[in-house]
Amino acid sequence: MFSVIIPGRPCLTDIVPVDPQPNGQATKFAFTIPLTPDLSDLVVFLLPGTVLPPDTAAAIYIQFPSDPNGFRFIGALANEKPSAILPTSPPPNLQPGMTATLGISLEPIATVAPQLEALEAEKGAPGQLVRQTRQITTKVLAQRIIGNAFNFLASFASSDQDAVPLKAFRDWWSKFERKVDMDPSFLEREDPSASG
């Protein structure tokens, strides 16, 4: 039904149902995961052909040894989102040979949704994939563009003249446009002229 991938390790498929139901369909499952090597992130996914019951999500929890809080919610899967990359945030000073328990619980979407919202609120804005960067002012941006042009054009000037051919400016403009196309943020770095 579920599988787990931890970077650098084989795919885990040894899921254990932990609450057998009278109908034979378990709703809670567990993986035991060695904590070494590093367990900073993991991928949980529905196996091909697995369909969760309607209005159900697979809530994903992790429990580390000697964690007084027990299982901690780290994410969820649904038919619409059959896989997730999840950070595990293990506590420091874990000993070799220790294991964590990854729990997966089939729960109503109405129960899982608020937990997902709370988890996203802890991380920052929901769905935020773009790192926040400081805004540069128009003046600083203009200074960086002109500085880039000046450094490029100065390389064409000879010691006895201050003029550069117009072709040199056209060449700079073409090169500048290519740089913007390849890396639009290059002007936001401290010294964009250092790269030419």
User: CA-to-CA distance for 12 and 33, rounded, in angstroms?
Assistant: 9
With CA atoms as reference, report the closest residue to 40 among 7, 67, 65: 7
pLDDT at position 98 is: 86
- Tell me: the pLDDT tens digits for 54-68? 999 999 999 988 777
Question: Would you state the pLDDT for residue 113?
Answer: 92
Q: Is the pTM of this model over 0.85?
A: no
Alpha-carbon distance of 158 to 58, in angstroms, equals 70
Q: What is the pLDDT of residues 69-120, one digit of tens each?
A: 789 999 999 999 999 999 988 877 777 788 889 999 999 999 999 999 988 8
Q: Are 31 and 101 in contact (CB under 8 A)?
A: yes
Structure tokens at 96: 């070799």
pLDDT at 175: 86
Q: CB burial class (10 A; 0-12, 13-18, 19+) of residue 159?
A: exposed
Taking only the tens place, the pLDDT of each residue in 129-155 is 444 445 567 677 777 788 878 777 777
Give Cα separations from 57 to 51, 89, 118, 137 (angstroms).
10, 22, 16, 46
190: pLDDT strictly greater than 70: no
